Amino acid sequence: MKERILDEAERLFWKYGVRSVTMEDIARKLGISKKTIYQHFSDKEQILYQVIEGKTGRDQFAMECMVVGITNPVEELLSVLSLMQKNADQISPNLLIDIKRYYPQAFAIFRQYKEEQIMRSILENIQKGISQGLYRADINPTILARLRVEQIELAFDNDIFPTDQYSMHDIQSELTHHFVRGMLTEKGFTIYNQFLNRGVQPIIYENK
Amino acid sequence: MKERILDEAERLFWKYGVRSVTMEDIARKLGISKKTIYQHFSDKEQILYQVIEGKTGRDQFAMECMVVGITNPVEELLSVLSLMQKNADQISPNLLIDIKRYYPQAFAIFRQYKEEQIMRSILENIQKGISQGLYRADINPTILARLRVEQIELAFDNDIFPTDQYSMHDIQSELTHHFVRGMLTEKGFTIYNQFLNRGVQPIIYENK
């Protein structure tokens, strides 16, 4: 039952945000009583907390599975973009605004995930790119990894990119491609262009 | 006298931050009494406020003078970097931390300057770069201009780039070069490399 409650809550939070979803809504959708929910969770914040813990764990797992077999760091960053875009399409902009403003404990899990997992994987990516000669040898890996981590957060900042003016899809695509291109060597550009030519991102990538 | 007070306060704030500089310090340096200062300013915050208004105005003017005669947007961004680095060398990291934390009104001037002047000039730079074929035609100018404005602020964020681990000089150089490179077309790279070869930035810029 606990899992069913978490699954349903996740679906509702992702679709409508957190504030507008009540314990009543979750119970009704599952055809159970609110009392049953309170047997497992003390309040909505606790549900949210566990939903996010589960989600960041699964995201990390999905990312690790996806990059198995990808030995090329350019392709890796662009594949992570696809995963992020798939996620973004399913998320109500309200969700992130709600969490950031009203649920500091849940937001702290995001932050920790960002600090530990994302920072580490980007740093590894940059170091691999340099050693393979795809990224410039003169870049400072920690400064750029930090920039990238912050970019991911910027994309979710409603004051910087108001959701009524920008789509999360476009922001992530723009920032990711710009981030990758800013590091590429000539050899890196060859790999990058090959990847795009496979039709993964149908954009005009060179203005000659 | 008002101008002398502002000049001396600016020098002290830039060197030591705001919190550790007292009205007494400013008066002593000028060989005047605190009373004379209070004839012109109600408190330290008011002095800071006017110092920053003056400074952002002069910076804007310096930037406008500098780019006169530069018709090439790549060179323009890299010249602004030199100006920023020159400024950064003179600023105590305490100054920005102090202002952000303790002087919201003064920080608001920075924000407004950032929103209006910097955003506008970066957007113009990007549009010029695209029309000259130096930046990719497929970039989204407003998303990247917004990214750049936020990058400038990130560089000053002590939580993200602790001043004991990174120099402002390195962060700004790294972020600016990465920002420019991420937009360049092949034609743009030619111009960029020519500019670097003139010895302005002695870095290894290509890892072949």
pLDDT tens across A83-120, in order?
A: 888 777 777 777 878 888 888 888 888 788 877 888 99
Secondary structure class of B70 (helix, strand, coil): coil
> Taking CB atoms and an 8 Å cutoff, what residues of chain B touch A177?
182
Q: Mean pLDDT in chain B?
A: 86
The span from the CA of B119 to the CA of A117, in Å, is: 32
Between A111-120, A138-147, B6-15, B30-39, the lowest mean confidence (pLDDT) is in A111-120
For residue B200, pLDDT over 70 is answered with no
Burial classification of residue B68, based on how many CB atoms lie within 10 Å of its CB (0-12 exposed, 13-18 middle, 19 or more buried): exposed
Which of the residues in chain A have pLDDT under 70? 199-208
Q: What is the ipTM of this complex?
A: 0.78
Among the listed residues B137, B96, B106, B144, the one whose alpha carbon sits nearest the alpha carbon of residue B122: B144
- The beta-carbon neighbor of A208 closest among B150, B166, B185 is B185
Alpha helices in A31-103 (DSSP H): 34-40, 44-67, 73-90, 93-102
CB spacing of A174 vs B140 below 8 angstroms: yes
Between residues B176 and A207, which one has the greater pLDDT? B176
Identify the CA nearest to A139 among candidates A131, A130, A148: A130
- pLDDT value, residue A33: 93
pLDDT per position as a tens digit, A146-167: 999 998 888 878 788 888 888 8
Residue B166 to chain A, least CA–CA distance (Å): 8
Question: Does the distance separating the beta carbons of A138 and B175 come in below 8 Å?
Answer: no
Partner B contacted by A175 (CB < 8 A): yes
- Looking at chain A, which residue has its C-alpha nearest residue B182? A182
Pick the closest to residue A63 from A20, A111, A13, A122 (CA basis).
Answer: A122
User: Any residues with CB less than 8 A from the CB of B193 and at least 6 apart, and which?
Assistant: B205, B206
B204 pLDDT tier (thresholds 50, 70, 90):
very low
A107 touching B (Cβ < 8 Å): no
CB contact under 8 A, A140 and B170: yes
The residue length of chain B stands at: 208
pLDDT band at B207 (very low <50, low <70, confident <90, very high): very low
Residue B177's closest chain A neighbor by CA? A182
Give the number of beta-carbon pairs within 8 Å between A and B.
Answer: 101
Which CA distances in Å does A143 have to A33, A126, B59? Answer: 51, 11, 26
For the record, the structure tokens of B50 come out as 């006017």
**Residue B89 pLDDT greater than 60, yes or no:** yes
- For chain A, list the domains and their CATH numbers: 54-197 (1.10.357.10)
* Range with the poorest average pLDDT among A114-128, A165-179, B81-95, B155-169: B81-95
Q: How far apart are CA A25 and CA A19, in angstroms?
A: 12
- Residue in chain A lying closest to B186 (CA): A208
User: For the CA atoms of B115, B145, B131, B58, what is the dihedral angle to 10 degrees?
Assistant: 40
Instruction: Give CA separation, A135 vs A182, A190, B178, in Å.
Output: 9, 12, 11
Long-range (24+ apart) CB contacts under 8 A made by A125-132 are: A125/A73, A125/A76, A125/A77, A126/A73, A126/A183, A128/A73, A129/A73, A129/A74, A129/A183, A129/A188, A130/B207, A132/A72, A132/A73
Question: How distant is the Cα of B88 from the closest Cα of chain A, in angstroms?
Answer: 17
- Average pLDDT value for residue range B43-49: 91
What pLDDT sits at residue A201? Answer: 47
**In whole angstroms, what is the distance from residue B204 CA to residue A124 CA?**
22
pLDDT at A80: 84
| DSSP-assigned beta bridge partners for residue B184 | B135
Say what angle helices B2-16 and B23-30 make with each other, to 10 degrees: 120
pLDDT of residue B66 exceeding 80, the answer is no
